[in-house]
Amino acid sequence: MIINSDFHIHSEYSYDASLPLSEIAENAKSFGFRKIGITDHVNFNDKSFLGDLASSAKGVGEFRKTHPEIILGVELTPIEKPEFDYIAKRGTREGYIPPVSEKLYEIELAVTKEQLIEHGVRYAIGAAHWRVDVPNGRKLPADRDAEIREWYRQQMWLANDPRVTVLGHPWWNPSGVWYEDFSVIPRSMHMDIAESLLKNKKYVEYNSSGLFDNKSEKFRMQYAEFIRELFEMGIPVTYGSDSHKQYIDKRTEVEKVLYEVGFREGDFSEIRDEDLWVAEV
């Protein structure tokens, strides 16, 4: 098999998931996975998400006593700095009104690396999920060119942020504006992101849920070729199922495409011990 570990799984402690750790561990064992990472969402710095982080850390920490193959990670997503600042002052997102600005909003993540380490988190997936450049970006109609620029900006930012271990599902997009033809994204953007990943010694993720399921065969091949090129440049590639509600083995179909673009046994990486943060709890 090309894929032997899964570093992107959401458990029942994530706001949008329902998978018990026992089911994840049992299924992963039946798949023959060596290591699995629990990466519950911490999207915002409010009490709700910080509470989810504490619950995930406690639950996974206890479960690891009998399942050492499980690693505690987290998924972080870029948010607009004005909203982060608002929450930092009030502890809640309620009442937030995006300020008018002539400049693109700055980017932030919900928590510091020190906060994550204090909870025992060993690594972080950083992934773009929505526009954070302009007011109400999540509610705007799909705009391919604007979204290409914004996803590029966020992914470059993540590739240079010390909190990020793995660039998660690069170029995943809820609007699907480049899923018919991935080549609409300038190659120069791919190369800029790749150079930053290499410089900062980060991993890149191949995500089966967000970038394989229900996509055209053309896109699947284009995307696999993109990931293969990053691998050939020296960027280690991890696998993420991005499971939320069910944990099933998708490798038969996924690996067929990976094999066609040149991936073989041993090409996909596990996060090295030296790249995992030292847990303090």
Residue 224 lies in a domain: yes
Which residue shows structure tokens 């300020």?
Answer: 99
Q: How many domains does the chain have?
A: 1
pLDDT at 14: 98
DSSP 243: B
Residue 31 lies in a domain: yes
Task: Return the CATH number at 267.
Answer: 3.20.20.140
Residue 16 lies in a domain: yes
* CA–CA separation, 57 and 65 (whole Å): 13
Residue 258 lies in a domain: yes
> Is 56 in contact with 13 (CB distance < 8 Å)?
yes
Per-residue pLDDT reduced to its tens digit, 67-100: 999 999 999 999 999 999 999 999 999 999 999 9
pLDDT at 279: 53
The long-range contacts involving 47-55, CB below 8 angstroms and separated by at least 24 positions, are 47/91, 47/92, 48/15, 49/15, 49/110, 50/110, 50/111, 52/13, 52/14, 52/15, 53/111, 53/116, 53/119, 53/121, 54/119, 55/13
Domain that holds residue 200: 6-275
Rg (alpha carbons) of the chain, rounded to whole number: 18
* Structure tokens that stand for 24 in this block: 């994840």
Q: Say whether pLDDT at 281 is over 60.
A: no
Residue 247 lies in a domain: yes
Residue 281 lies in a domain: no
What is the reported pTM?
0.97
Percent of the chain with pLDDT over 70: 99
Residue 280 lies in a domain: no
Residue 152 lies in a domain: yes
Give Cβ neighbours of residue 238 (< 8 Å, ≥ 6 apart). Answer: 5, 7, 8, 166, 203, 204, 205, 206, 268, 269, 270, 271
Per-residue pLDDT reduced to its tens digit, 178-206: 999 999 999 999 999 999 999 999 999 99
Per-residue pLDDT reduced to its tens digit, 193-240: 999 999 999 999 999 999 999 999 999 999 999 999 999 999 999 999
| Average pLDDT of the chain to the nearest whole number | 97
φ, ψ for residue 243, nearest 5 deg: -70, 140
Average pLDDT score over residue span 19-29: 98
Locate all alpha helices (DSSP H) within the chain, ordered by sequence. Answer: 21-31, 47-63, 81-90, 113-118, 144-159, 187-199, 208-211, 217-232, 251-260
Q: Say whether pLDDT at 280 is over 50.
A: no
